[in-house]
Amino acid sequence: MGLAVLVQATSVLGHKRKNSETPELPTCDEERNELRRTDTLASAFDRRVEELDRQFDQLSWLVSVNLGWEGGVHVQTCGHHLHLDCLKSYLRSLRTQQRLAVDSGEYACPLCRQLANSVLPLPPQMGETAAVVRSRPVSMAAIIPELTNFLKENPPTNTGVSSLMDAMSKSMEDLTNSTYVKFKQKSGNRIPQTLFLFVSSIARTNLEIELVQRGGTLCSSPQLKPNPLIPKRSCIMPLLHVLAVHARLLAHWPAWETWQQLACLEPDVALPPALVPIQNQVPLLLRDPTALLTQFILLLPLHLDQTYFTCVIKLLYNLLYFQVVVQASCRMTEGERGYWRRIRSTGSSSDPRVSTLEDAMSQTILGLDPTQLYLEDEVSSPPLLPSNPNMTDKQLLEKQIQELCLPFLRIAALLRHHLYDQPLPEIDSPSSEFVRLVYFLELVTDGMSWDRFNAAVALSWPSKTHVADWTRQLEEFINRSQVAARALLSEQHITWHQPALLSLPLLYDRIFQYYHRRQCSQCHSVPRETSICLLCGALVCLKENCCKQHDICEAVQHSIDCGAGTAMYLVVTSSYVIVIRGKRACLWGSVYLDSFGEEDKELKRGKPLYLSPGRYQLLQQQWLAHRFDHTNKKWVWHRDAL
């Protein structure tokens, strides 16, 4: 049996921005110059990957990040099941359908007629409540070696051929073929690490998109209306099963060594070292904790007992917390750092394990002082500020740390929700989200008063040498390249805001006056049908041969570059919106209406047109929810001619 799914490429996540305010569509030269396209998540990730590639061995950084911000793979389902054998004969019967690309595996769900193009096979163990438990250990010291042994079992030795494995392979093939070659890998080599990065990134992309559809947070007050973006049925668990099978087959390197570094375990001397030792490894403090989480979840048995899952979250939270603290220390002045140093020197605790913000910050700064990380400030900073942060400053720093930890906690909470079928906690306000998620993930189990609660109480230390070991790894890199280290550390965690279409002016006349005689920036001619991308504001020549590349017209090529095959264009000469989705296109309608609420097709009546916020919100919702294929029926094959 399989689950009918629609698999498509997506770049929705890549359009997250640092600025909380949605940029406006430019209607004058000054606004066009101010519209920055480089503050998006996709461009920031590209810059980070380029730096990682310059500084570290490729085999190491490939398993330190996730792809999928541009050209990721999104999977959605209508919730209906079918026999895989029945699907083959059903596809043969659809070959006469002109509106379906049956050769590419497209079909209409036999029950609801919703478009689908793949099937996720359902393994027999799906839905089992019995988890994998070997001894149900109670302490972290006992759980960590157990998890190490689980990770050492990859790749599995008993990979027999079966109809289920064939179906899994076919499903993975569909996932791979759904996106474009330029997005599949950041490295040209088809090595196991590159393929593993692609597989693990699919899981991350689908969890991140679910979070976007929930509004970017897990706040869910019962008084609020149901969110129209959240899909009625989830396919995360069948997808994770398919991805996990292939991730374990691809794990041809000692992935458990990362886990041992995270837990600060001594390496197992009895085991032979890796055949090719990796030089210039990415320090643990520079690895993406959420990427490590998706990797561990796919490499460990999916029906792992919840105790093990909680242990993984605890150790990754330790890493995340210290990454955020190191980042905060990089952004301080030398005077502020001096204050935190004095706190530690006057403290009486001899236990190096951290339980307060003061402990964490002072231990981090003192640990990195021998390096050259802070030297730049001594040369270029203004005279030292009077550095005696008051209680308000500490509260502000604590709030910033909690905000930067939230993205990881949200993804971890969604994973726990899907893996163990546990309802998400009810969170009434953004101010209580951190606390509720920390308790939901069992990072903190004891009740405590508000004045005692902070992000450091959620830390769990199985070893006393964590911070020193992680800092030692980082020291080598800082001493080798201080400028690169500072750049990577200070921009490691950023609060990204929800992706959104450009905001449009109320009067259509402002757009028409600025764009209708505007020249194309590539061919410098005035297009007959000037069209504007509603994602980035780019002007393209619609249906023109002047900007054609490799037999692909500009609008189609831009839809691939900007939206992984999905783009919405406002055609200035007709006020209509054209949507391109993969190999198809459709006339969506107009988001500008006259005072009677009617469209003015081709602008023949000459009535003043005003923005319809309801229609524009609907267009954005269909983009965020990846529902263009389901909500629009009059599609045509564009044959790369738009």
Rounding to the nearest 10 degrees, give the CA dihedral for residues 444, 445, 448, 454: 0
| Number of domains comprising the chain | 3
- Please say whether the dihedral angle defined by the alpha carbons of residues 272, 276, 280 and 285, taken in this order, is positive or negative: negative
296-325 pLDDT, tens digit per residue, is 999 998 888 889 999 999 999 999 999 999
Is position 528 within any domain? yes
Is position 346 within any domain? yes
SS3 readout for 90-129 = HHHHCCCCCCCCHHHCCEECCCCCCEECEEEECCCCCCCC
Do residues 153 and 122 both lie within one domain?
yes
pLDDT value of position 244 = 94
Do residues 260 and 317 both lie within one domain?
no
pLDDT value of position 590 = 94
pTM: 0.93
Do residues 410 and 543 both lie within one domain?
no
Is position 106 within any domain? yes
Centre a 10 Å sphere on the Cβ of residue 63 and count the other Cβ atoms it contains.
22
pLDDT value of position 461 = 79
Tokens, residue 17: 């921005």
User: In which band, very low, low, confident or very high, does the pLDDT at 419 lie, cut at 50, 70 and 90?
Assistant: very high
Do residues 312 and 295 both lie within one domain?
no
How much of the chain is in helix, strand and coil states, percent to nearest 5?
A: 45, 10, 45
Lowest mean pLDDT among 39-48, 127-136, 226-235: 127-136
Calculate the average pLDDT of the chain. Answer: 86
What does the DSSP assignment read for 603-628? G-S----EE-HHHHHHHHHHHHTT-H
pLDDT value of position 344 = 63
- Could you tell me which of 324, 356, 344, 343 has the C-alpha nearest to residue 459? 356
pLDDT value of position 129 = 46
Beta bridge mates, 577: 570, 589
Residue 69 near residue 45, CB atoms below 8 Å: yes
- Please say whether the dihedral angle defined by the alpha carbons of residues 309, 220, 66 and 408, taken in this order, is positive or negative: negative
Is position 498 within any domain? no
Residues 321, 461: Cα–Cα separation, whole Å: 12
181-199 pLDDT, tens digit per residue, is 877 766 567 788 899 999 9
Do residues 475 and 589 both lie within one domain?
no
Residues in Cβ contact with 560 at an 8 Å cutoff, skipping those fewer than 6 apart: 180, 182
Query: Is 16 a residue whose pLDDT tops 90?
Result: yes
Range of the domain at 380: 306-490
Lowest mean pLDDT among 75-79, 268-272, 576-580, 610-614: 268-272
Do residues 116 and 47 both lie within one domain?
yes
Query: Is 225 a residue whose pLDDT tops 80?
Result: no
Is position 605 within any domain? yes
User: In which band, very low, low, confident or very high, does the pLDDT at 278 lie, cut at 50, 70 and 90?
Assistant: low
SS3 readout for 375-440 = HHHHHHCCCCCCCCCCHHHHHHHHHHHHHHHHHHHHHHHHHHHHHCCCCCCCCCCHHHHHHHHHHH
Is position 24 within any domain? no
User: In which band, very low, low, confident or very high, does the pLDDT at 383 lie, cut at 50, 70 and 90?
Assistant: very low
Q: What is the mean pLDDT of residues 625-637?
A: 91
525-578 pLDDT, tens digit per residue, is 888 888 999 999 999 988 888 878 888 899 999 999 999 999 999 999 999 999
Is position 561 within any domain? yes
- Please say whether the dihedral angle defined by the alpha carbons of residues 522, 525, 531 and 536, taken in this order, is positive or negative: positive
Beta-strand pair 566-571/576-581: antiparallel
Query: Is 348 a residue whose pLDDT tops 90?
Result: no
Do residues 409 and 520 both lie within one domain?
no
HSE of 517, CA atoms in CB hemisphere, 13 A:
1
Q: Helices in 420-522 by DSSP H: which ranges?
A: 433-440, 466-480, 482-490, 508-515
Residues 444, 456: Cα–Cα separation, whole Å: 10
Is position 626 within any domain? yes
User: In which band, very low, low, confident or very high, does the pLDDT at 350 lie, cut at 50, 70 and 90?
Assistant: low
- Could you tell me which of 421, 146, 123, 132 has the C-alpha nearest to residue 304? 132
